[in-house]
Structure 1
């Protein structure tokens, strides 16, 4: 297993950001698959307000899984092509849109509430988006 991982990461540009983007892509593909197989994980993110239950349906879970898969593919491309301005920008947009989506579902629409399910995506989108903005000049040519 280690040699497969080493082989996969050997094609990455140097630095921690490409490795992080690859890691998040792999984890997100797993989340996408899970969204197609079970409602449990998606219901943990979209737990509903304190007074209502989760609004997640099989259709909304699969839609979320598809959206996550698309974001994962863009982020995977960015991990390997981080010096390409358009690819970098697209990946950065995925984190900005994810943050806006999760924040609005929590603070505006009330379909999500703060907890383990929401904390992960909010933290990843915030940290990674900030990291990418801070590292722009280090990677984009």
Structure 2
């Protein structure tokens, strides 16, 4: 008897990148739900600069949750359709926008300070964007 994980991944294309995209998609849906339920996680990401408090409001947290859910859906489709150049490009854009967003909030706007809250999204967006760019020719024909 196969496990539930085997059933979910049975239709994924070969390779680690599709599994990574699926994993991040599932984690991101959890983050989206959390953004609607509590301000704590979003406030950890957007913790404000040294002297200013977190700028997170209930509306901005829900907006962030919606944006994260949309990105998650695109990444989910990319995990299963990684050979489709349009879907691959859309997933690339989600990571490129996340990269630009998180780094600009940290370095330009000062709504985030370097720490646990921003490090995770910054690393994930950087690694995923770099990995997808490097693997384009392996998946998209």
Q: Distance in 2 between matches of 1:12 and 1:5?
A: 11
- Tell me how far 1:3 sits from its aligned partner: 1.3
Q: Does 1:115 align with 2:110?
A: no
Gaps of 5+ in 2: none
1:10 alignment counterpart: 10
The equivalent of 1:90 in structure 2 is 90
Distance in 2 between the 1:134 and 1:127 partners?
10
Offset at residue 34 of structure 1 (A): 0.2
SS in 2 for 1:47: coil
Q: Deviations over 1:112-137 (max 9, x none)?
A: 11000000000000000000000000
Shift of 1:5: 1.0
Q: Give TM-score scaled by structure 2 length.
A: 0.98
Deviation at 1:37, TM superposition (A): 0.2
SS in 1 for 2:82: coil
Is residue 19 of structure 1 aligned with residue 19 of structure 2? yes
Partners of 1:94 and 1:102 in 2: CA distance: 12
Q: Which residue of 2 aligns with 1:80?
A: 80
Distance 1:72 1:57 in 2: 22
Q: Secondary structure at the match of 2:75?
A: helix
State the match for 2:54 in structure 1: 54
Structure 2 CA distance for aligned equivalents of residues 88 and 100 of structure 1: 18
Instruction: Tell me the CA shift for residue 89 of structure 1.
Output: 0.3
Q: Deviations over 1:38-87 (max 9, x none)?
A: 00000000000001110000000000000000000000000000000000
TM-score, scaled relative to structure 1: 0.98
1:67 aligns with 2:46: no
Over the aligned positions, Cα root-mean-square deviation in angstroms equals 0.7
Between the aligned partners of 1:67 and 1:26, the Cα distance in structure 2 is 14
Give the Cα–Cα distance (whole angstroms) in 2 for the partners of residues 64 and 58 of structure 1.
Answer: 10
